[in-house]
């Protein structure tokens, strides 16, 4: 973790970095729905957690001098039934508006934190 990420309001990570810049690509760890102190946001709420993950992603890519338009693909991991996946997708579409980048929505059995139901991974590339 670097100081710029902490200063931007991202929580400290337990033993890993949020991202590494490799040329024109930002290799990003899955974003979890936590606030700046590391507290899980919107426990068991797919829509609320999507919004938190995407805000954290937006902050992270900005810290590393990338922009939302540089997000080339997302994988959205969701714990729950089909209705939970639908809520997560609806929140994703609402957050991005009409400009959702290519994405994969996956149902999974568990994520890293108790009451965490969403995690979002992204591929970020600046072609300029």
Residue 1: per-residue pLDDT: 61
Domain boundaries defined on the chain: 3-125
- Where do the DSSP E strands lie in 31-95? 71-79
Task: State the pLDDT at residue 116.
Answer: 98
Q: Rounded to an integer, what distance in angstroms lies between the CA atom of residue 110 and that of residue 67? A: 30
SS3 category, 82: helix
Q: What is the pLDDT of residue 15?
A: 84
Instruction: Report whether 40 contacts 11 (CB < 8 A).
Output: no
Q: Which residue has the tokens 């590339």?
A: 125
The predicted pLDDT at position 30 comes to: 96
Q: Give the homologous superfamily in CATH for domain 3-125.
A: RutC-like (3.30.1330.40)
Per residue of the chain (128 residues), give pLDDT as tens. Answer: 678 899 999 999 888 889 999 999 999 999 999 999 999 999 999 999 999 999 999 999 999 999 999 999 999 999 999 999 999 999 999 999 978 999 999 999 999 999 999 999 999 999 87
Alpha carbon separation from 91 to 7, 12, 14, 63 (Å, rounded): 27, 26, 27, 24
Q: Report pLDDT for 91.
A: 98
């Amino acid at each position: 973790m670097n100081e710029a990420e902490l200063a931007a309001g991202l929580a400290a990570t337990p033993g890993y970095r949020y991202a590494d810049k490799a040329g024109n690509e930002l290799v990003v760890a899955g974003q979890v729905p936590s606030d700046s102190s590391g507290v899980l946001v919107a426990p068991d709420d797919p829509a609320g957690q999507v919004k938190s993950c995407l805000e954290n992603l937006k902050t992270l890519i900005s810290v590393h001098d990338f922009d939302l338009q540089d997000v080339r693909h997302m994988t959205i991991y969701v714990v729950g039934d089909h209705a939970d996946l639908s809520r997560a997708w609806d929140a994703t579409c609402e957050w991005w508006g009409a400009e959702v980048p290519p994405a994969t929505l996956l149902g999974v059995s568990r994520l890293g934190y108790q009451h965490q139901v969403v995690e979002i991974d992204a591929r970020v590339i600046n072609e300029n």
